[in-house]
Chain A
Amino acid sequence: MFRGKRRIFAAGLLLATFATACGDDADSTVAPASTTAGATDSTEGSDTTEAGSDTTEAVADTTEPSAPSEACPTSGEAITLAVNPWTGSAVNAYVAKSIIECELGTPVEIIEIDENATWVGLDDGSIDAVLEIWPSGHAADFDTYIAGKGSVVDLGPLGPSAKIGWYVPKFVVDAHPELATWEGFQNPELAKLFATAESGDLGQFTMGDPSYVTYDEQIIANLGLPLKYVVAGSEAALLTAIDQSIADQKPILMQFWQPHWKQLEVELVEVKLPDISPACEAALASQDGTYACDYPVDELYKAANAGLEEKNAAAFNLLKNLQLTTEQQSEIAGYVDRDGMSAAEAGQKWVDANAAVWQAWLS
């Protein structure tokens, strides 16, 4: 009895799935765009319509600014842009996506992926380009892939610069103005304000995600500060520690950076570290562990797979020309972080309103 029923059952299920699989082609053409407008649709639907001529104006549906506009007709091999898990990275990519799709008629696929995993994808071409790299965290990747193997090419600066540094919540500086500079931390009594069970008698210095660049251990040692370096292990843990610090009004000293959405939410003050001296530049070059200055400014840059120029010269050219100012980027990021738009909506909104800016990138 066992076997006979199993066969009937299997046949039935097979029939059911075939019914669905076969019916698929029929209605994929009538599927409204809204159902497939998600950022990750890639497997189907790329063969929907012929390409419109690329002289069409950006098809902006101005009636509903908050809804993502209808995807422009596209054809050909898709370009894959990587989005790393922060707002800036996402809005750059969606600005580029909108322009490439509507002006060049090339479909753009967005892949949301870990920052470090991005490089392996850039190397083998499964990612065509990434538009925001923080140089400080990826010196080794630059050496390996761009300078060394040559499988990835530098697309030039994105425009905005970023800055890593030491931060404390504003209430700390309000109560102890001398903690606005590193000299304040020489005082063991003041450093002790930052003590935790982990750091014992010393003050705790908190570092977030270990994949970010850090000289903090060197800076602490070389400036002789009574601090203990503790790695929180993840950005989420660091952000939670900030919330905890604000809730308890218990001081926290940490590595943080600008731009970051958290800076809109809580008031953080950067602690002044010694200016970058020639000795520090030498220490940076030789990696001899004697670094004792402020973090260098991060000039964000773009990178692409070396094969992109051949694959799609127009897109390559556009991505190379694409540049935003710090103000422009924070404006778009603000739509997301402050106004709660999706990155796609925010990118589209900016593209709709700033044709003059991006028209120049197309030349």
Chain B
Amino acid sequence: MAVSVETLPTLVSDEVLIARRRERRIGFVVFTGLAVLAFVVPHEVPSWMDTGIQRWAQDRYRWSILNRESALIFRWFFNPVTDALNWSVEHAESWLLALRWPGVVAVTAAVGWRTGGVRAAIIGAAAMGGVGVIADWDLAMRTLAIMLVAVLIALLLGVPLGILAAQSDRFERVLRVVLDTAQVMPVFVYFSPLQVAFALKFAPAVMATVIYALPPAVRLTNLGLRQVPVVATEVAESFGSTKLQRLFKVQLPMARRSILLGLNQVIMMAFAIVVLAALLGTGDLGQEVLKAIQKTEVGTAFAAGMGVVLLAVALDRVTTGERPAHRLRLLNWLPRVPFRVAGAIAVGGAVATVIAARVFEWQQFPSWLTIDIAPTIDGWFDWAKNNVRKGVPVIGGTQAISDFLTTWVLDPLRDFLWWLPWLVVVVGLAFVGWLSKGWRLALTVTVCMVLIGTMGSIPGGGGRVTLWDLAMDTLSQVLVAIVLSVLIALPLGILAGRSDLVERLLRPFLDIAQVLPQFVYLIPVVFLFSIGRAAGVAACVVYAVPPCIRLTALGMREVAMPPREAAISFGATGRQEMRFVQLPLARKAILLGINQTLMMVLATVIIAALVGAGSLGLVAYEATAKPNVKLGQGVAGGLSIVLLAIMLDRITQAWGTSPDTDRRT
């Protein structure tokens, strides 16, 4: 390989090299020995390893059903929280409805103007107005109310947790496992328990959203605080500031960007599960999506889903309000007014609109402004049905791709993983972990995989199937989905990283793909790929590609100019510069993108189960489907997904960090 800037040879003494070579040799010997041993012991997961976690979870669930009136934790904790949450959402909703639609749009614009300037105001207001244009306004306000409460709670919990995590490494490590669990554990697993704890409608919906959306708030607060230069903190310290003063006056303001990015991610995650929360009877836009899906009305589902997307965009642009470095060219002809006057205009405008809306009885969103996009979408879908599935030259269409994927990729990979003795899989993955970072990672991987072995078995296939076997099925699908996502996303990300035009063209699609409720594309995916694992893989890919493209493009863009310019001045062609300078320098960001892709794929395993992928996702889904019998199984399935995720996550993260740092020391 050519010498890239990043991997320039550094000075390493001979002793270190020899020691490393010896360690490497020991590793190979140890792992070969373990692999041989693994072939000798029983090939199946022994039944004595079953820890009975399924039974334990099932019993706890049953206990809480039987004792939800009398148990103290219900009377003193769950019930008051339930009431408070319902109260908050109901009041938020009635306020939003009282503001009337012009008022909501005007307030959105005013807040956007305050946080992000004219641009944010316009985009926010346009998106909010767009909600009324393509979806039902009143239902949208209910969704917005739920989301506002959930996002607020996620921030109130997440930022302090992030601050704590930034103070203590040990706390951070523990918290990280908890957050990984929250992010990857399928919502369906804790749906029924949440209902038992928080009854129906808003309270459990808010709680589910908070659990799912909390991790980025904690993570990015922690990250932001840790990235504050030590110098800044030390200066503050030398001026005699207290710890709290340092936190609030120096560190938090300096971490502002990161925290705002966290807020952005919280909003995106929260809106992504609006539809699932609707299963609890929220009666909002998410329910519209569900109802349409039930009747296989793709267009209607898409319209309601787009309402959700626009709400998310409005909330996101207005709250995170990134201020563009340069003013919009279009805005240059506007008269420049002092900040104070502009503020007065914005606030005054908002107040005036609200009052006008009340005076003129603008109650419902005017029907002449609404557009029914459902028929258009249905038309597109019909076209795709007839032209994409079959008869496409060369590749043959999505059905052929699906059949190929199932027969020649998914089947062999799964059968191979099933054929391997289970301990060989454990040792093999531990070996990958050791290669990636070292003994510590090998140990983490081993623990994760062995824990999957302790999850027991469930009835199925005319006998009993171990969770291990299901996990191998899932693993095969996940690996295929990750490879496909990366294959699609990397080129697009690189392109977007080098061309503004491509990035601008891609952006709305990425926004939509990330926030559009996954339920919306359930039907198209089934129609194009047929029920089965290939459809599941397709669903995962749709969801996982956007973050990968985003992070790749971001990584490419953040490469500093000097080395790139230097390369060009030395006569490198554009392509050479990209290949040998920009790409290697963006490597870490790209690997982070792959890591995120992986988490997304694992978070989508549950949706894949709804289109026929079976395996762990289906087991987890059944926790909601038949909680009185299958909650325990669901918990075991969900935990297995989490363990797979943690294992894959730690390995890919090691790729992004370790080799370089190792080599430099």
Contacts and interface: CB of A to CB of B under 8 A. Distances in A.
Given A120-B192, A197-B407, A149 B523 contact: no
B350 A13 contact: yes
B527 A196 contact: no
A63 interface: no
A116 B192 contact: yes
B628 interface: yes
Interface string A271-311: 00000000000000000010000000000000000000000
Contacts of B610: 233-234, 236-237
B279 A117 contact: yes
A361 interface: no
A237 B522 contact: yes
A50 interface: no
A209 B625 contact: yes
A16 B614 contact: no
B295 A12 contact: no
Interface string B359-397: 001011000000000000000000001000000000000
A230 B609 CA distance: 11
B284 to A, nearest CB: 9
A237 B612 contact: yes
B291 to A, nearest CB: 7
- Residue among A123, A196, A198 having the largest count of chain B Cβ atoms under 10 Å: A198
B532 A20 contact: no
Contacts of B114: 6, 9
A273 to B, nearest CB: 18
A148 B628 CA distance: 12
A43 B111 CA distance: 27
Interface in A21-47: 21, 23-24, 27, 31, 35, 38-40, 43-44
Interface in B248-280: 279-280
A363 interface: no
Q: Please tell me the size bucket of the interface on B.
A: 35 or more
B522 to A, nearest CB: 6
Contact of A197 (B142, B355, B403, B609): B403
Contacts of B62: 144
A27 B355 CA distance: 13
Nearest to A39: B283
A241 B531 contact: yes
Given A43-B94, A237-B526, A16 B350 contact: yes
Nearest to B114: A9
Contacts of B361: 27
Interface stretch (A107-115, A312-320, A322-330): A107-115
A123 B627 CA distance: 14
A39 B296 CA distance: 22
Nearest to B138: A38
B406 A24 contact: no
A141 B628 CA distance: 7
A152 to B, nearest CB: 11
Contact of A112 (B68, B283, B403, B626): B283
A70 interface: no
- The SS class assigned to the B binding surface is helix
A232 interface: yes
Contact of A113 (B69, B138, B200): B200
A12 B347 contact: yes
B300 interface: no
Given A9-B343, A237-B610, A261-B295, A20 B95 contact: yes
Contact of B281 (A24, A121, A148, A289): A121
A9 B527 CA distance: 51
Contacts of A85: 290-291, 294
B195 interface: yes
Contacts of B535: 237
Interface in B203-261: none
A117 B195 contact: yes
Contacts of A20: 95, 98-100, 103, 354, 358
A111 B621 CA distance: 23
Contacts of A211: 622, 624-626
Contact of B200 (A35, A120, A233): A120
A149 B290 contact: no
A232 B291 contact: no
A15 interface: yes
Interface string A199-228: 010000010011100000100010000000
Interface in B81-101: 90, 93-95, 98-100
A140 B355 contact: no
Contact of A35 (B103, B347, B363, B527): B363
A112 B90 contact: no
A236 B294 contact: yes
Interface in B183-215: 191-192, 195-196, 199-201
A50 to B, nearest CB: 23
Contacts of A124: 68-69, 199
B530 A23 contact: no
A327 B357 CA distance: 48
A231 interface: yes
B110 interface: yes
Contacts of B339: 1, 5
B343 A8 contact: yes
A184 B315 CA distance: 58
A54 interface: no
B296 A243 contact: yes
A126 interface: yes
Given A16-B107, A31-B363, A233 B611 contact: yes
A230 B626 contact: no
Contacts of A123: 65, 68
Interface string B50-74: 0000000000001001101100000
B347 A13 contact: yes
B196 A120 contact: yes
A236 B200 contact: no
B265 to A, nearest CB: 25
B200 A121 contact: yes
A141 B340 CA distance: 62
Nearest to B339: A5
A62 interface: no
Contacts of A19: 351, 354-355, 358
Nearest to A125: B199
A240 B523 contact: yes
Contact of B348 (A12, A206, A289): A12
B200 A234 contact: no
A144 B626 CA distance: 12
A198 B351 CA distance: 60
A13 B107 contact: yes
Interface string B623-636: 01111110000000
B297 to A, nearest CB: 10
Contacts of B66: 148-149
Nearest to B66: A149
Contacts of A127: 200
A231 B618 contact: yes
A105 B279 CA distance: 30
A234 B522 contact: yes
Contacts of A239: 296
B293 interface: yes
**8 cross-chain pairs, A with B, having the tightest CB-CB distances, nearest first:** A211-B625, A12-B347, A113-B281, A197-B406, A140-B628, A198-B532, A114-B279, A233-B610
15 contacts: A8-B340, A9-B347, A13-B110, A17-B99, A19-B351, A112-B283, A116-B192, A120-B65, A148-B66, A206-B531, A210-B622, A231-B614, A233-B614, A238-B531, A241-B526
Given A85-B290, A237-B535, A244-B526, 12 more contacts: A13-B111, A17-B107, A17-B354, A23-B98, A112-B281, A197-B407, A198-B612, A210-B618, A230-B532, A230-B614, A231-B612, A236-B610
Interface of A: 1, 5-6, 8-9, 12-13, 15-17, 19-21, 23-24, 27, 31, 35, 38-40, 43-44, 82, 85-86, 111-114, 116-117, 120-121, 123-124, 126-127, 140-141, 143-145, 148-149, 196-198, 200, 206, 209-211, 217, 221, 230-241, 243-244, 247, 261, 289
